[in-house]
Chains A and B, each alone.
Chain A
Amino acid sequence: MKKCRVQIIFIVAVIALWEIVYRTGVFPELMFPSIGSIMKSLWTGFAEDELAGMVGYSLSLILRGLSIGILLAFVLSSLSIISKTFHKIYNLLVSVFDLVPGVALIPLAILWFGIGEGPIIFIVIHSIIWPMSRSIIDGFQSVPKIYIESGKNLGLSKFEMVKDIYLPASFSNVLSGMKIGWARAWRGLISAEMIFGTTSAGAGIGWFIFMKRTNVDIAGVFAALIVIILIGIIVEYGFFRVIEKNTIKKWGIRQ
């Protein structure tokens, strides 16, 4: 708590400033809702508009997409350690597809997977697989030679080399790849939801924002943004920081 003091003071100051600006009435209420009405929207969002369910649905989509994307990134990056030819091809694919924004793929995704969860999960996978692969491959390539030779000295198979040497040795890259991938996937998901609206299986937080905008409920839009940010903070501190503490920090590996 002590370490975050500056940040907390800053956030409180921003909120106070917001409220002051609101009270001066420089901006119309529609553009600049009060803190109070944002909080109220947040409350009614959860109490009446099933915001919790929507958040849960978005999270379930991203979790499915991320699991597939991360798994694929691991498998394909590991193959590129084992085969030089595959490495050359995969490296090219990663460089090319990393440049394509997920949202730009939506028309194709609809064409291939139809309307529904398919295209959204596809966008999530696309968002994470390339940056994650880039980080893993870069990490694999910078594994100190001495670890590789220590492994070879034990007669490890290629699979064991990847699992027991390359992966842990490049774990800080793997983690930073996951962070970048997660952030892109989370953004991509919300954009996709805003475009697709609901699927037969449910509606996500992007849809919530879209509805609030259509109803010109700007406080509601802000409320949704707060939820998105809070989820980001929870993932950072509740997930990534915990993993970091138990791996690279514990191992004394610098980032």
Chain B
Amino acid sequence: MSAENKNVILQVTNLRKIYEDSDSTKAILDDVNLSLNENDFLCILGPSGCGKTTLLRCIAGFEKFEGTIEVNGVEVRKPNTDRILVFQDFNQLFPWKTVMQNVCYPLIKFGIKDKKEREEIALKYLGKVGLEQYKDFYPHQLSGGMKQRVAIAKALAVKPKLILMDEPFASLDAMTRRKLQKELLKLSKSENVTVIFITHNIQEAIVLGTRIMLMSRSGNFKLDMENTLPRPITPSSEGYAEMWDIFNNALNEESLS
């Protein structure tokens, strides 16, 4: 391993994906290459159906694919706690477990044998998303935004190398969405995590991402930009409008083609 490669956490090489059970033999992902550094916050934009979810599922180990995906130099074969998926669906928490139990459960698999220790960790992360006082609630007693917060706490608690978020805020109202974006931004810095975050929302991508990519219908990346705008980024930040335009135009082109 060379020194300059040291903090590459994800290396995707010549990734190709064709769904065997679909009628078309078209490759959903066609020769995708991606190299992601530790602590990057990568936002991926792209037209609906271009294969964003498929890419995340390949990285998470849920799909078969051609090419190689390496996380910390280890080839991805199947799912594991070093890569945690956070879904858009509010129902990703187990309804039969309390908030606390939902966050604790993965820690057992993560190898923390002592129940007290697990609860301490869970409480710490629930605190980070502001939900300690809801620890004994069942998921059906929470709002959508709270459920997504718990899902984020649950993902962070196992200290994954990569958090893979598939439009986690897409079903939230605009206010809650902004609030959760802010929280996630803060957490991603304080927790030193590496995130791949899929969104349809250009604002969200610019506010959150340290790097923004745009996927095209042909199944690979069309734009790849470092986001160097001074933080915190708001729509009135200098350079925001230009960046927004670039991605908006590219997306429009995609949906026309």
Contacts and interface: CB of A to CB of B under 8 A. Distances in A.
B97 to A, nearest CB: 8
How many A residues touch the partner, as a band? 20 to 34
Nearest to A250: B138
A169 B106 CA distance: 17
Given A153-B60, A155-B109, A251 B140 contact: yes
Interface stretch (B77-85, B221-229, B246-254): B77-85
Interface in A160-185: 164-165, 168-169, 171
A153 to B, nearest CB: 5
A52 B83 CA distance: 61
Contacts of A165: 94
Contacts of B81: 153-155
Contact of B85 (A153, A164, A250): A153
A147 B94 CA distance: 7
Nearest to B107: A154
Interface string B84-100: 11010101101110000
B94 A252 contact: no
Interface in A234-255: 247, 250-253
Interface in B101-157: 105-106, 109, 138-141
A150 B96 CA distance: 14
Contact of A146 (B79, B91, B106): B91
A144 interface: yes
B256 to A, nearest CB: 33
A253 B97 CA distance: 12
Interface in A132-157: 144, 146-147, 149-150, 152-156
A90 B140 CA distance: 35
Contacts of B62: 149, 152
A146 B138 contact: no
B139 A154 contact: no
B92 A251 contact: no
Contacts of B139: 252
A207 B84 CA distance: 61
Nearest to B90: A146
A251 B96 contact: yes
Contacts of A153: 60, 79-81, 83-85
A216 to B, nearest CB: 54
B91 A251 contact: no
Which of A165, A247, A251, A253: most chain B Cβ within 10 A?
A251
Contacts of B96: 168-169, 171, 247, 251, 253
Contact of B79 (A155, A169, A250, A252): A155
A168 B22 CA distance: 32
A146 B109 contact: no
A103 to B, nearest CB: 38
Contacts of A147: 94
Interface string A205-247: 0000000000000000000000000000000000000000001
B103 to A, nearest CB: 12
A168 B94 CA distance: 9
Nearest to A247: B96
A154 B91 contact: no
A20 B84 CA distance: 71
B91 A144 contact: yes
Q: Sort A-B residue pairs by CB-CB distance and give the 3 closest, nearest first.
A: A252-B140, A168-B96, A251-B95
25 contacts: A146-B92, A149-B62, A149-B79, A149-B85, A150-B85, A152-B62, A152-B78, A153-B85, A154-B81, A154-B109, A155-B80, A155-B109, A164-B105, A165-B94, A168-B96, A169-B94, A171-B96, A250-B138, A251-B95, A251-B96, A251-B138, A251-B140, A252-B138, A252-B139, A252-B141
Interface of A: 144, 146-147, 149-150, 152-156, 164-165, 168-169, 171, 247, 250-253
Interface of B: 60, 62, 78-81, 83-85, 87, 89, 91-92, 94-96, 105-106, 109, 138-141
